[in-house]
Structure 1
């Protein structure tokens, strides 16, 4: 029988694009809640006292408990979430949702006029609403009629956040939100640097203060790459000196952003080594931090470190949580399966056929892909000389939307195997 090279299958799969994920494949996941229940407390129960008490209690631990600080920042962000659309098209439904959310927060302000918290939430609502209208395109591609309502939303957000700052300047989330507004309004650095300094005074280790400044230092806003990388090093040194491992996520995020401009940036040994060291410190301190493990899988995938990604995929298992870098559960699931497939190919190329088969079967358990079936067909035919099994796997490959290259390869396997089996 002629040589069957499973590497041909994975190459063809990459040509074909992403595999097709059936909804049933995603049913295996259990959603681990993050801050979502607080939206129900606010917009459903309208228990303003309960929410305010929790936020104020969290602020007591702002400097000492970085897990609590990060959670509170995500909580603020989640309370201002508006419906998202895959096509990112702004609709009347978004306007209605905003009106309903603002009506609730207005009642919160009326009941607790001296609390800064509802002003932060309302300011963030206006901010996100404005960006929904504007869209995420570069300025030159934003429709002219989108600018007035966008800028109006930014000004409304700024007014609410300045009110929040006057009521409680010690909440760093106020200043990180103002940094976001400064970006939307293209305020000069002399202004937003003041926001940054006030935020750092409130909490020198606040992830979002550092992270939002890093966005402002991107070249497309008001900075340049040299200053951005300098900030990454400064933040990394502080994370180590202060023993604040989660702060290490900021330089990791900066490197991830630079990699969008410079292909292969994350694969540089020095860069990836620093990122791995940061993740090691995080998991040494917080081994159960699920969100950080999702970030690690994402970054390892970008850095083409399938081995590291697979380790984290295995630890995470069939769990999912929101507020992670993967665009969707579907994308995450496909990356998980494809990573195992890549490692299977590596094992095959190293003549470790048992490991190649093991990893391919694990990949298939997650997501049937033609290329994975062809890998198994090659192993059965070339290594085990089990032609009936080789034919079976090749036939299965033909049932899962193969690319033209994969179809040809499967038919070739079947023809060769059947010819081999003839007396």
Structure 2
């Protein structure tokens, strides 16, 4: 036990107190994340939407996220990451309450757009905060700590959500709203007297060339496109995988909550230690590419084997893939930017995920409607293979062109 304890201690050591507090904010926020895992089921079983209406609603949610990522990155550079995070957390909490009386497709779908528009402003601002309060040598571990907090919350939220949904789905919206408000208030009172309230001024570093706009950085734009392809695959996890559990295996809501909780628990338990052990030993391109390939594999095996046990194995593999890919993917925009445009770079990175959330749910639901779930899982595996090759070839060229001090700690 001593060597294992020592590895975990070293993995968490050296991170600043504000970095831990940012992670705590995300934990509070994500513990109440109950709506999204059950949204497709709520829309089909309670509001009686068709599968394509569900896909369109989730795509509108993604469109709001896309606009929110762009807006959040721009506001972070203009107003500072503190103000943007406060507005996003408190505003999204109110939006969850406002969604409760909306029962028709015409009303609910736009409501999801505005919810995600406000909520997604948090991501680029929070990423800018993490990099602001963390030394360069610890940046990947700081992002992993943040994701670990998100996944710990996500291992709790769906389980509670599955239990609450057996009484009423309205409790899910209330819990999500109150957790967002609680996270916003905690963040405000802890960080209100700290730095980060004002937009950063442009500075020049010796290790990274200044790029005023990420949209003029051609390699980074291509990286964002590949990240979007990864997101199209991964976001089947939120949109169409719950429908698969419900319609093909007829799982009760509590079991679906447990499957989502498994993802959160695996990532929470293993991410920091794997980032600490693998980061210094392997190249970014290799970790990101293998993680991307494994995401596709976690879906395609649903076509090869049957049984509830396969659902748990698939979720475990998906969780490991998430660990291998996503924390290292978030490191690239930090390496590629400076303090004056980091919000914009993180905004474009998150924008790629938001575009994926526009395309992925509707594309997936359309494939399901016309061809069925097996074709969807085959499509995700094919796209994962192509995207993995893209990362394998592109990321080394980005590192070679920039030649920064590589972040692995």
Give the TM-score taking structure 2 as reference length: 0.28
Query: Which is higher, the Rg of structure 1 or of structure 2?
Result: 1
Which one has a larger percent helix, Structure 1 or Structure 2?
Answer: 2
TM-score, length-normalised on structure 1? 0.27
Which is bigger in relative contact order (C-alpha 8 A, separation at least 6)?
2
